Amino acid sequence: DTEVTQTPKHLVMGMTNKKSLKCEQHMGHRAMYWYKQKAKKPPELMFVYSYEKLSINESVPSRFSPECPNSSLLNLHLHALQPEDSALYLCASSQDAAGWYNEQFFGPGTRLTVL
Amino acid sequence: KNEVEQSPQNLTAQEGEFITINCSYSVGISALHWLQQHPGGGIVSLFMLSSGKKKHGRLIATINIQEKHSSLHITASHPRDSAVYICAVRFPQETSGSRLTFGEGTQLTVNP
């Protein structure tokens, strides 16, 4: 299984809602990533988990809260988002976070719209 | 400053044409990735290379370490190749091997 899956595919939420994005991989990878991608722009790194511990937080606002309950799962909890947070949220995984030659495998993304 | 530049930004081709997309970077790198993204979709990793040349089907990626330049070639292009192609690199100065620096992407449209 060489796939990263993400649910839901699409999410529409109000600014007062709480929702979660989910990401799963069964490749035995020990590093998992969240990226945010605005239209016609490259992905921006948000968080990196390495061996289920948060290793990189790119100064992301606290209304985004990541969680890695086990080595196969990665969640992104959303609360009190703003319309400018509307974007494609991509999850990725790699064998580990430290290796310079580790390839990242990306999921299909969740298209988030904040009203 | 670690920078990645891609060219062209947009490329339109007729089916069957040979296509080249270029990527230049500012300092030496550890590895370079070529990624493909279809409209509204996730990202597919096409190649990861640190030297030489790799081929997969109609796709060829080359890298010239001395010139700090990589190219992605598509032979016998097809409308299904229409997508955004993104170059992403790992700079060795980065404290974590997980950090990629992305180019702005090249929007390729192949017309039948």
* Per-residue confidence (pLDDT) for residue A101, from 0 to 100: 64
Most distant pair of Cα atoms in chain A: their distance: 41
**Intervals of chain B under pLDDT 70:** 1-2, 93-98
Contact between A111 and A11 under an 8 Å Cβ cutoff? The reply is: yes
pLDDT in tens, A3-47: 999 999 999 999 989 999 999 999 999 999 999 999 989 999 999
Contact between A21 and A4 under an 8 Å Cβ cutoff? The reply is: no
pLDDT in tens, A59-115: 899 999 999 999 999 999 999 999 999 999 999 999 877 766 678 899 999 999 999
Per DSSP, the three-state class of B70 is: strand
Tell which of A40, A86, A104 to mutate to test the B interface (max B CBs under 10 Å): A104
* Per-residue confidence (pLDDT) for residue B99, from 0 to 100: 79
* Per-residue confidence (pLDDT) for residue B93, from 0 to 100: 61
In chain A, residues 14-73 whose CB comes closer than 8 Å to chain B:
31, 33, 40-43, 45, 48, 50, 55-56
Burial B33-49 (b: 16+ CB within 10 A, else e): bbbbbeeeebbebbbbb
Contact between A89 and A110 under an 8 Å Cβ cutoff? The reply is: yes
The verdict on a CB contact (< 8 Å) between A100 and B35 is no
